[in-house]
């Protein structure tokens, strides 16, 4: 008799948002209950795969402050008009 030892976890159905972010896009960064909007200046690849972004350099649209942000904190991309 065979037994299924699979974990039952389903693979993700779509890619995480940060994989599609490019320099020049305006994004929403969510840090807990606080969020802010910024323009992506530069994206930094990871050590294992340089094509996968792990950090973004983002300029806040309100203050102009430039910060390095962990890629998974980007929650939305603001559509271009």
Q: Are 27 and 78 in contact (CB under 8 A)?
A: yes
Closest to 25 in 3D by CA, of 13, 16, 17: 17
pTM strictly above 0.85 = no
Residue matched to tokens 């159905």: 13
Q: Are 5 and 21 in contact (CB under 8 A)?
A: no
Q: Is the pLDDT of residue 34 over 80?
A: yes
Q: How confident is the model at residue 11 (pLDDT cuts 50, 70, 90)?
A: low
Select the more confidently predicted residue: 5 or 16.
Answer: 16
């Amino acid at each position: 008799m065979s037994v299924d030892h699979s974990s039952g976890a389903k693979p993700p159905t779509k890619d995480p948002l940060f994989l599609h972010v490019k320099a020049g896009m305006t994004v929403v960064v969510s840090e807990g209950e606080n969020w802010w909007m910024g323009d992506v200046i530069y994206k930094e690849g990871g050590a294992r795969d340089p094509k996968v972004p792990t950090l973004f350099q983002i300029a806040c649209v309100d203050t102009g402050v430039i910060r390095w942000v962990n890629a998974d904190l980007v929650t939305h991309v603001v559509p271009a008009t």
